[in-house]
Each structure stands twice: as C-alpha cells, then as structure tokens.
C-alpha cells in the first residue's frame, strides 16, 4: 500500500541546493518533503568540496614539513600514514554530517524520504512506496562524473571523485584524466602526499581563467614534479603490471605512461536521465534542465537549481539558487539571477580566485580606453615575505570611473582575500573607495589595498596626490 503525501513543497536531492531550500522553507513553516536516494549532503559533503579540501589540507601539512628548513626548522622527511590521512578526511565528513542529517532535517519539520524519485505526471513524484502530490517541486539532483569514451577505459579499474576518497593506501603513481579545478586539486593533494602525478587534458589547463594567473599555478605544479600534458588526447588505456597504461601521441609518436591508479576527472553531467522529466513536462538537454530567470522549468510549478541546470557548478551557487527559489515560491518575489558576483576558487597551492570578469573578457567586451587594469605582486607585501608566500599577484579590472568589473588573485589565501572584492562588487563600491580602509598590518589583505592605491597612479603627476599616496603608503 502506497503512502500519499500532499506537502506545499517537494525537494528532490539533498545536496547543497536541496538542503538549503528544504531548511529555509521549513523554517518559514512550510510543509516540505525532501527525497534523497543516496547520502545526505550530496557531493559537497561526501564526494566533492569537503573531502577534497580535507585531503589538500593534509597535503599542505606534509608540504610544510618538507619546506620547514626555509624557516630554520630541521625536521626529518614527512612520514605519511595513508590510513591516517583517509581517517582524517572521513573524520571531517563525520564532523560536518550532523548538519545535513536526516535527524536534523526531521527536527526542522521536514519529512525526509530515502528513495530514488521520479515523476509520474506533472504533479506527482514517486519515491519508493510514497507518492508525493506537491504544490511545487524543486529538482536539485546535481551532477555525476563524465566518463570519456577512450578505448579500453571500460576494461580497467578507474577512480572518480565518488571513490578516490575511499583509497587508504599509498597511491604510487596517479594518472589524472582532466586538468580542471578538481583534477588539479586532487592531483596536487596526492603529489603532496608522496604520489607521482601525471595530469592530461584535451585542452589547455584552465582555459577560462586568467592566463597569467594560471601560469603561476601551473609553474608551481611543474616545479613540484607533477607531469602536465595539456592539449593531449589519450588514445587508449589498458592494464599494465603496475596497474594502468595510458597511450597518447606526442610529436607524431605513440607515448605510453604507466601508473598505479587512474582518476577520471573529465567534467560533470547533470543528473536528468532517471527522473522521467518528460512525464512532468520539463524540458532538458544533455547540458541540463532548461530554466528561466526565476529558475522555473518549462513546468511553472517545478523549479530546478544547482548543478542539474548546467553552467558553473559550485556549492555556493546552488545555495544562491536556493535563496532565489525560496523567495519566489514562498513570497512571489522576482529576484534577478545575476552570476556577476559569484566567485570561484581553485584551492591548489597557490590558490586561484576570481570574481567578475577576467582581463581577457574585459578586452573582449569593452574598448581598451574604457578599462583599467591594476596589479600588485605578493612579493611587495610584508606579511607575504614573513610567510615566504611571495609567489602570485592581484589583478583588478575596472571601468575608467573605478567601477570594479573583476578581480583575479593567484597566491596564498587568494580565496580569503577575494571576499573584499566580492563585497565591493556586490555593493557597487568603487576601487578608489577602498583606499580609505584601515587594514591591520601586517596582513595579506594589504594586497588589496595596494591594488587600490594603483588606481590613483595616473594622477600621480599632480604633486599633491603624490604626497598623499606617499603618506598613505608609509602609514600602511
């Protein structure tokens, strides 16, 4: 006998997007059903953001040991207990898991159903033995790894982001297919933990990021013996004595690289296929579910958010989508969906952080005389010298009147330093206004302030302005 539920809102998928919608709606007293087929917390908690950053944190500790002698501290070679690293990563997941748990959401008043959901018609979802007739639905089913069609790939064991965090032994040589943010982060984490790492990409690495910033990051990866093969198509994969052999062409010859483990990080595809969306009148393509500005699908009573709608894929974007849906579904507010101030960070060492448009995008969009580019190197920041983190720079792109169009930071703590620029852009604060901020000395955040000084440099011919800037610089 099937149970029939008639809530106001039914959310499918308990990842970053779905959990945020369900929690917010429940807190407004709305009856909500949340359906999850796998683990509560989705990719962010179980297979993505959290475990990858926890693994990188372990790698960075190992690296700190390796480079300690620069600070006059003599330590022996870092001894890595791979079972211990595995337990650290899963300990972090376990520490965060209660926030996303069935118990917590049930306590908030959400009815959680653990089953795979699919639509029966425009108003009904089936999940196990439960039928849900809701006034509105939110599809937040996320994405899964793309497995490229490479000869032999289906005959060798390979890892994805869904399995690599379960490995508890040393990976001797990790071959990564895909040099996007996740491939680079996971590749570098394993390299820092003592693996040989080779990364292939069919394109250049990080083609959408600022090339100067990318060059700083890639140089660090190469300096630490990570083998990078950009613009390289892997032709064939097969089993070898060590584990796996990857074949590709270079300068007209076939080259073979042998590794012990293979990680596929070659992009993500939206989870649309198993939902029977046709029955619900929801249009989708291989790129994701089609939505309008309010994130409504072609069935006006069904919203879709997060990775499943394609485009940029970040947890904070899925959460931002959730806010739009809650305001629209509950209060009929029509917020505009502006991706302009959605930041992104690659959490390698050094980090690469971006908000707004890059220099190349600015040149494509505006005439040269209408934009200004301001740069400042980490090497000129006293705190960066203390920490021996002098690689990298900030680059700020503005209109002539100082309106900030974008900011790129590559270097230590770039993701944290970006916050000031995200806020400045969101609140329409101009670059010149930042000069009056008093920031603590010595902090990395001086990098941002120095970039704002640069804004006044065209006026430096004026003697009085030169004196003011000189004074401000002396005052920090």
Which residues form the interface with ligand FAD (CB under 6 A)?
Answer: 12-18, 35-38, 42-44, 48-49, 52, 116-117, 140-142, 161, 182, 271, 274-275, 306-308, 313-316, 318, 347
What's the rounded Cα separation, in Å, for the pair 323 and 138? 12
Up-side HSE of residue 347: CA atoms within 13 Å toward CB?
19
Cβ proximity of 349 and 188 under 8 Å: yes
For residue 282, the minimal CB distance to ligand FAD (Å) is 13
Nearest to ligand FAD of 35, 405 (CB atom)? 35
Burial status of residue 212 (CB atoms within 10 A of its CB: 0-12, 13-18, 19 or more): middle
- Expressed in angstroms, the distance from the first to the final Cα of the chain is 72
Nearest CA-CA partner of 378 in 410, 351, 407: 410
Residue 330, φ and ψ in degrees, nearest 5:
-95, -35
- The secondary element (H helix, E strand) that includes residue 398 is strand 393-399
Nearest to ligand FAD of 128, 230 (CB atom)? 128
Nearest to ligand FAD of 163, 443 (CB atom)? 163
Cβ proximity of 402 and 374 under 8 Å: no
For residue 386, the minimal CB distance to ligand FAD (Å) is 27
- Secondary structure of residue 125 in the 3-state scheme: strand
For residue 54, the minimal CB distance to ligand FAD (Å) is 11
Counting every residue, how long is the chain? 476
DSSP one-letter string for 156-193: S--B-TTTGGG--S--SEEEEE--SHHHHHHHHHHHHT
For residue 152, the minimal CB distance to ligand FAD (Å) is 24
For residue 288, the minimal CB distance to ligand FAD (Å) is 10
Q: Give the torsion sign (CA, 23, 24, 27, 32).
A: negative
CA distances for 442 relative to 74, 386, 410, 448, angstroms? 26, 9, 19, 13
Pairing between strand 351-356 and 404-411?
Answer: antiparallel
For residue 434, the minimal CB distance to ligand FAD (Å) is 26
Contacts 24+ apart (CB under 8 A), 65-69: 67/388
CA distances for 301 relative to 61, 156, 292, 297, 438, angstroms? 49, 44, 12, 8, 49
For residue 352, the minimal CB distance to ligand FAD (Å) is 12
175-179-183 Cα angle (round to 5): 65
For residue 160, the minimal CB distance to ligand FAD (Å) is 8
Cβ proximity of 265 and 160 under 8 Å: yes
Cβ proximity of 397 and 358 under 8 Å: yes
């Amino acid at each position: 006998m099937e149970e029939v539920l008639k809530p106001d809102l039914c959310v499918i998928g308990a990842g970053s997007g779905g959990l945020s919608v369900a929690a917010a709606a429940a807190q407004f007293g709305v009856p909500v059903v949340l359906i999850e087929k796998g683990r509560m917390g989705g990719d962010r908690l179980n297979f993505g953001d959290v475990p990858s950053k926890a693994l990188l944190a372990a790698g960075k500790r190992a690296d700190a040991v390796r480079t300690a002698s620069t600070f006059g501290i003599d330590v022996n070679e870092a001894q890595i207990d791979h079972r211990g690293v595995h337990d650290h990563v899963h300990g972090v997941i376990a520490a965060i898991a209660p926030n996303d748990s069935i118990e917590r959401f049930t306590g908030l008043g959400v009815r959680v159903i653990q089953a795979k959901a699919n639509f029966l018609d425009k108003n009904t979802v089936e999940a196990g033995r439960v039928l849900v007739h809701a006034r509105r639905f939110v599809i937040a089913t996320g994405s899964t790894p793309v497995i490229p069609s490479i000869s032999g790939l289906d005959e060798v064991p390979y890892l994805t982001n869904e399995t690599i965090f379960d490995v508890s032994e040393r990976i001797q040589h990790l071959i990564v297919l895909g040099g996007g943010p996740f491939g680079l982060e996971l590749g570098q984490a394993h390299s820092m933990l003592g693996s040989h790492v080779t990364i292939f990409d069919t394109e250049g690495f990080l083609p959408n990021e600022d090339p100067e910033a990318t060059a700083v990051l890639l140089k660090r990866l190469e300096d630490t013996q990570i083998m990078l093969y950009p613009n390289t198509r892997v032709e064939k994969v097969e089993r070898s004595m060590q584990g796996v052999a990857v074949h590709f062409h270079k300068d007209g010859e076939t080259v073979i690289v042998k590794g012990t483990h293979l990680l596929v990080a070659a992009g993500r595809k939206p989870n649309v296929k198993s939902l029977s969306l046709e029955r619900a009148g929801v249009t989708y393509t291989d790129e994701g579910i089609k939505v309008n500005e309010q994130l409504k699908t072609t069935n006006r009573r069904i919203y879709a958010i997060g990775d499943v709608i394609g485009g940029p894929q970040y947890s904070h974007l899925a959460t931002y989508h959730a806010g739009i849906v809650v305001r629209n579904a509950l209060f009929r507010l029509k917020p505009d969906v502006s991706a302009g101030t959605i930041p992104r960070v690659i959490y390698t060492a050094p980090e690469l952080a971006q908000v707004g448009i890059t220099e190349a995008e600015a040149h494509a969009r505006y005439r040269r005389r209408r934009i200004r580019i301001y740069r400042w190197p980490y090497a000129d920041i006293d705190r960066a010298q203390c920490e021996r983190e002098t690689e990298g720079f900030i680059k700020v792109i503005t209109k002539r009147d100082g309106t900030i169009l974008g900011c790129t930071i590559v270097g230590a703590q770039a993701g944290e330093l970006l916050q000031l620029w995200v806020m400045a852009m969101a609140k329409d604060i101009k670059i010149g206004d930042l000069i009056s901020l008093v920031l603590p000395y010595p902090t990395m955040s001086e990098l941002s302030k120095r970039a704002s000084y640069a804004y006044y440099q065209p006026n430096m011919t004026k003697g009085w302005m030169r004196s003011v800037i000189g004074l401000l610089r002396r005052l920090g």
